[in-house]
Chain A
Amino acid sequence: MGLADVKEKALTGLFWLSALMIVGVLVLIIGYIIVNGISAIDLKFILEPPSRAGKEGGISTTIVGTLYLTVVSLLLSVPVGVASAVYLEEYANPNSRFAYLVNLTAETMAGIPSIIFGLFGFVFFVIFLNMGWSVISGSLTLAIMILPTIMRTSQEAIKAVAPELRENSLALGASKWQTVQRIVLPSAVPGITTGIILSIGRAIGETAALILTAGSSLGMPINLSDPARSMAVHLYVLAMEGISMERAFGTACLLIVLIVILNFLANWSMRRLSRAAG
């Protein structure tokens, strides 16, 4: 075996090592949190509201808060995002200034840190529109944050619909909107679903923007104007203020489990998509 062979073998070993390190880090983080957090989770933890600032009781109000914020932000963001994608892919001239600007702004928004969205949501929704720290302020802020994801995945999904389907529909006398509504969108559903799943993951984990817009009240959010603390914000407060490490572990564990499930669903939905396209 020559020196060159040894060098090549060593390099290959290093590349494998780098891959193993990344898998190791992932397994360490997820494993550590699940192993230490799973014992904190029982029915009481999920169904009871927190008491004494989270020192005792469960986390039910923060689970409701997370769900509430996620659902409202999706209700706001999905129609707008899908409509934008339909406009860009089916109606707009791709070389127009307007289409260029929409694509550019969506791309720019995807790179803006969440704390900036938080500052904006705070000054615009909470103060300027006088909505206060509330579910609606938080949801509107989240909706803007996830809009680029919904738009991009919907655009990709619409692009992937075979042009023949549109031509056949139009040739049979369907109008443009009928074609979009009955032919293009149904074919694009798996792709759009993937975007929605990814957005749910982002909404569930979001913290910085929500602290500034939805507040951190531990009460049960009922109305859109009620303040709400999400699970992620709850985890931050519990850990930073050293209120209850056991409950912090439990909350982190629930978050991780949700993210793993969503990741699995997104993969499944994408596979379904590629099978449909292939």
Chain B
Amino acid sequence: MGAPAGDRWLHKRQVNEVRNISISTTSNNIDFAGSTSKADSTARKVTREAVIEKLLMISAGISILSIILITVFIFARGIPLVTQVGLSNFLFNLTWNPANKIYGIGAMFIGSLGVTLVALSWAVPLGLAAALFIAEIAPSAVGSLLSRFVELLAGIPSVVYGFFGLIVVVPFIRETFGGNGLSVLAGGIILGIMVIPTIINISRDSIMAVPMDYKVNSLALGATHYQTIFHVIMPAARSGIITAIVLGMGRAIGETMAVVMVTGNAVIVPGSILEPVRTMTSNIVLEMGYASGDHQAALFATGMVLFVFIVILNLLVNMVIKGAKKDGLS
């Protein structure tokens, strides 16, 4: 003890600066500043610390600033056109004819949903089966090896998937089912491969998070391993599985390069999965290069619809997770 009052005050200030980490204040005979001559430099240090904290805070604010700018700039370009055309006309009109100033994204909205549904129809069952395999069935070495392969699958660039689709999947469909191969089906096959990692990773984590007690009790009651998986583990992990499907859907709807390369991009409502189709994302990337004026604004409005759609999906996921937490499951 016996440090000058000023030092004790500074010491207190420093402890306050670090208040969210508990440190013992009883040991104040280990002195920071030591003597009054150092008080000046300590004060400067405190200011420096405060400046650094402000700088770090500003960095953290850049995320918020980015999302505000993204929203404002895309909506500012899109909203005037939507009000001019009318929201329901813009969303549901099946004719997209920029040359005659007719801007309806109905056909492309259906296109995006169609390709997404075909993709999910096979990627969800396969992804879920693989997630259960990794979490419950495979020997752990096999499971972690498969997880690594899935990571690799997730890392392949979408343009490479599109290229593979164009070179392998499209000719395969052409030769097997007829037509020219550029189709909803080709898009659904390639997109399905691309969303499988999302579905596996999220549902695997939620399956692994099911408490061991559930499993042990079920087995002790005489249920078989598979009865336990289907009647105990999967229901307990359902919120995670729903999250996986919704996020997979978001990924599929927002995907651009792979789809634009394999679906043929005709602005029509497809009569079957063997017909070509244009998605909302494809429309943006195909026409942005030369569009101007209202045409360009209509592409921004398309992006705006996509943006709103994705944000709604994310909010849904947040609600599912919150609901699950209320039920005591994660």
Residues of chain A whose beta carbon lies under 8 Å from any beta carbon of chain B: 4, 7-8, 11-12, 14-16, 18-19, 21-23, 25-26, 29-30, 32-33, 79-80, 83-84, 86-88, 91-93, 98-99, 101-102, 105-109, 111-120, 122-124, 128, 144, 147-148, 151, 163, 166-167, 170-171, 173, 175-177, 201, 204-208, 211-212, 232-233, 235-236, 239-240, 245, 248, 252, 255-256, 259-260, 262-263, 266-267
Contact = CB atoms under 8 A, between A and B. Distances in A.
Contacts of B24: 171
Given A113-B254, A236-B162, A22 B67 contact: no
Contact of B74 (A14, A119, A256): A119
B111 to A, nearest CB: 15
Contacts of A151: 63
20 contacts: A8-B224, A32-B164, A83-B56, A84-B56, A84-B59, A88-B60, A91-B57, A92-B57, A93-B20, A98-B57, A105-B63, A105-B64, A111-B310, A113-B254, A113-B256, A115-B256, A163-B21, A167-B21, A236-B257, A255-B159
B162 A116 contact: no
Given A83-B56, A105-B66, A123 B48 contact: no
B201 interface: no
Shortest Cβ-Cβ A-B pairs, 10 listed: A113-B254, A205-B157, A83-B59, A18-B129, A87-B56, A84-B60, A208-B256, A87-B60, A15-B133, A207-B159
B288 A26 contact: no
B95 to A, nearest CB: 23
Contacts of A116: 70, 74, 254, 303, 306-307, 310
Contacts of B142: 19
Chain B contact surface mostly: helix
B84 interface: no
B146 A23 contact: yes
A22 B153 contact: yes
A29 B48 CA distance: 54
Contacts of B148: 267
B222 to A, nearest CB: 12
A239 B168 CA distance: 13
Contacts of A101: 64
Contacts of B20: 93
Q: Which of B27, B30, B49, B149 has the most CB of A within 10 A?
A: B149
Contacts of A93: 20
B214 interface: no
A251 to B, nearest CB: 9
Interface in B96-140: 126, 129-130, 132-134, 137-138
B156 interface: yes
A206 to B, nearest CB: 7
A170 B18 contact: yes
Contacts of B234: none
A102 B14 contact: no
B55 interface: yes
B77 interface: yes
A170 B73 contact: no
